[in-house]
Amino acid sequence: MSRRLIPRAPLLLVLLLALLLFGVGFAVQALWWIAVIVLVVWLLGFVARPGACSGRSGRWYRW
């Protein structure tokens, strides 16, 4: 019985590796989109902060 499984083992390993790489690729692409959205929100925060038009140095964060 174990001799029968040995020829299938490399095929299963390749399929598992392909699924793993597909998952990593999807996760990386999703993280890029999240990073772009966060960057846009961060930049909009500087434009839309109180005092941006009046010349005051108002901050929209509490650091």
- Domain for residue 56, yes or no? no
Residue 16, domain extent: 2-47
pLDDT in tens, 4-44: 656 778 888 888 988 888 888 888 899 999 999 999 988 88
Alpha-carbon distance of 23 to 31, in angstroms, equals: 12
- CA contacts within 13 A on the Cβ side of 50: 4
> What pLDDT was estimated at residue 42?
86
Residue at 14 is within a domain:
yes
pLDDT in tens, 42-51: 888 877 766 5
How many independent structural domains does the chain possess? Answer: 1
Tell me if 63 is assigned to some domain: no
Instruction: State yes or no: pLDDT of 62 exceeds 70.
Output: no
Q: Is 62 inside any structural domain?
A: no
